[in-house]
């Protein structure tokens, strides 16, 4: 995701210059040529940074900063002032008012870019924390940030401990799981739950949003699943119970998608149901064909009346199941705004069927890196691979 810069200046030529040069640096740029519309656009576009001319008619830059900092919604957006070279006391006044940095006019474009990048580097971490403001309310103060960081770290630890440390040993199958979160506390999880001698519960889920709210919902879902999975014989029934419990308690815009399946190592079958989750892929027929597993129902947590269906598929030796979250298929190549996509994933599944499950997880991770050209992910990446082996190791 490229950062959005809002440039506010009454000089249209300067605005155009800023827009052209910053877009060339890969930023999204929106412009406003007076203080009033600058404020309005700060509210509607939630930019990552504001470049603000101090000397403007009607509403000057100081008034704009004052209003930005008084508004909950825009308070955290960093501001770089554009000032005339001579006005030292104005720069000081601006910094006191809450600006993060200044650049003097006429400015050097390289310097401007460097300042923007420095300020964004400083402020992006708090941008990630901002979604928490609504949950934590008055907790969020300047002094609270440090405390919050330690809480986040603790939460991340708890969450990491909930992810299986190693894949289960199931005769005739080779299983692996992989999770790489895009930030400290994430919304994805996967789980392996032994149900009896032959049956293993396998779950993968993606909770909407990020940070603590997503992590809390993730913990709820995982806990409910673990409590009920031995009582409910079908994955559809398990998902329905999770959904009905969540739908009572959670806000309608908080939801999760999930696949829950039961691997039966004696019957060599996988019975699954998908709650609005991206379709698992099934490599079959000696590695020549890839099926999407579509059976299931609505995403979890919003609609109390949702119905779910299960499906059982046979797993022949050489078959492979790939469960994943959309962080995989939506890994983005910024240069042409293309997503990795399901087709590429299906192709890599077909061409790497010889690899052990754990190696294959790494192969996907490497492919995402090669595709996007970066290590940065906007979303968590979670993968579960289940391979039916021929029983001989």
Partner 1 sequence: MFETSISHNDVPILRIDGKIIGGAANALKREMDKQIEQGRGGLVLDMARVPLLDSSALGIIIATLQFLKKMNAKLVLLNPQHTVLDVLQVTRLNTILEVYSDEESATSAFGS
**Residues at the site binding partner 1, with contacts judged by CB under 8 A:** 1, 4, 44-46, 206, 208-209, 251-255, 257, 276-279, 296-299, 302-303
CB of 355 to partner 1, least distance (A): 27
Q: Are 366 and 348 in contact (CB under 8 A)?
A: no
Shortest Å distance, C-beta 159 to partner 1:
19
In the complex, what is the shortest distance from the CB of residue 6 to partner 1, in angstroms, rounded to a whole number? 11
CA 297, chain centre distance (Å): 23
Whether residue 313 contacts residue 282, with contact meaning beta carbons closer than 8 Å, is answered with yes
CA distance 357 to 174: 6
**Long-range CB contact pairs, 354-360, < 8 A, 24+:** 356/174, 356/176, 356/387, 357/167, 357/174, 357/175, 357/176, 357/385, 357/386, 357/387, 358/167, 358/176, 358/385, 360/176, 360/385
- Measured from the CB atom, the residue of 146 and 253 that comes closer to partner 1 is 253
**Strand-strand pairing, 381-388 and 173-180:** antiparallel
**Residue whose CB is less far from partner 1, 183 or 388:** 183
C-beta of 359: minimal distance to partner 1 in Å?
A: 28
Q: What is the DSSP letter of 277?
A: P
Which CB, 184 or 274, lies closer to partner 1?
274
Nearer to partner 1, 60 or 291 (CB): 291
Q: Decide whether 102 or 272 has the Cβ nearer to partner 1.
A: 272
Closer residue to partner 1, CB minimum distance, 50 or 176: 50
Rounded Cα distance, 181 and 177, in Å: 13
Strand partners for 332? 339
Q: How far is the CB of 105 from partner 1 (least distance, A)?
A: 29
Task: Give per-residue burial for 243-252: e unless 16+ CB within 10 Å, then b.
Answer: bbbbbeebee
CB of 332 to partner 1, least distance (A): 10
Element (H, E) at 21: helix 12-24
What is the C-alpha to C-alpha distance for residues 334 and 381, in angstroms, rounded to an integer?
A: 17
| Residue 274 beta carbon to partner 1: minimum distance, rounded to whole angstroms | 9
Q: Which residue has the tokens 């940070």?
A: 211
Q: Which is nearer to partner 1, 321 or 388 (CB)?
A: 321
Q: In whole angstroms, how close is the CB of 187 to partner 1 at the nearest point?
A: 9
Sign of CA dihedral 329, 330, 333, 335: positive
Q: In angstroms, what is the minimal distance from the CB of 61 to partner 1?
A: 23
Beta carbon nearer to partner 1, 61 or 213:
213
Closer residue to partner 1 in complex, CB, 264/332:
332
Hey, is 258 helix, strand or coil?
strand
């Amino acid at each position: 995701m490229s950062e959005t810069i809002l440039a506010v200046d009454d000089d249209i030529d300067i605005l155009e210059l800023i827009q052209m040069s910053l877009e060339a640096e890969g930023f999204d740029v929106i412009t406003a040529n007076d203080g009033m519309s600058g404020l309005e656009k700060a509210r509607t576009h939630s930019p990552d940074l504001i470049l603000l001319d101090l000397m403007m008619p009607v509403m000057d830059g100081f008034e704009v900063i004052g209003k930005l900092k008084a508004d909950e919604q825009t308070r955290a957006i960093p501001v770089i002032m554009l000032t005339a070279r001579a006005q030292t006391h104005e720069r000081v006044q601006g910094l006191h008012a809450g600006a993060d940095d200044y650049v003097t006019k006429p400015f050097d474009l390289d310097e401007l870019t460097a300042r923007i990048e420095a300020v964004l580097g400083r402020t992006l971490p708090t941008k990630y924390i901002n979604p928490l403001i609504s949950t934590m309310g008055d907790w969020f103060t300047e002094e609270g940030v440090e405390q919050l960081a330690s809480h986040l770290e603790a939460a991340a630890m708890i969450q990491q401990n909930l992810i299986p440390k190693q894949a289960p040993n199931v005769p005739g199958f080779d299983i692996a799981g992989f999770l790489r979160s895009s930030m400290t506390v994430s919304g994805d999880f996967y789980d392996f739950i032994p149900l009896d001698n032959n049956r293993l519960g396998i779950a993968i889920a993606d909770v909407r949003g990020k940070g603590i709210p997503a992590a809390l919902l993730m913990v709820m879902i995982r806990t409910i699943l673990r409590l009920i999975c031995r009582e409910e014989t079908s994955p559809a029934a398990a998902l329905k119970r999770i959904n009905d419990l969540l739908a009572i308690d959670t806000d309608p815009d908080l939801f999760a998608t999930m696949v829950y399946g039961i691997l039966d190592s004696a019957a060599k079958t996988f019975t699954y149901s998908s709650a609005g989750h991206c379709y698992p892929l099934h490599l079959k027929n000696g590695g020549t064909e890839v099926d999407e597993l579509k059976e299931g129902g609505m995403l979890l947590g919003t609609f109390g009346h949702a119905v779910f269906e299960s499906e059982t598929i046979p797993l022949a030796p050489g078959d492979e199941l790939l469960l994943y979250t959309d962080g995989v298929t939506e890994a983005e190549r910024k240069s042409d705004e293309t997503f990795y996509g399901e087709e590429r994933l299906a192709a890599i599944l077909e061409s790497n069927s010889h690899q052990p499950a754990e190696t294959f997880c790494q192969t996907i991770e490497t492919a995402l890196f090669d595709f996007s050209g970066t290590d940065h992910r906007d979303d968590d990446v979670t993968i579960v691979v289940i391979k039916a082996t021929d029983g001989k190791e």
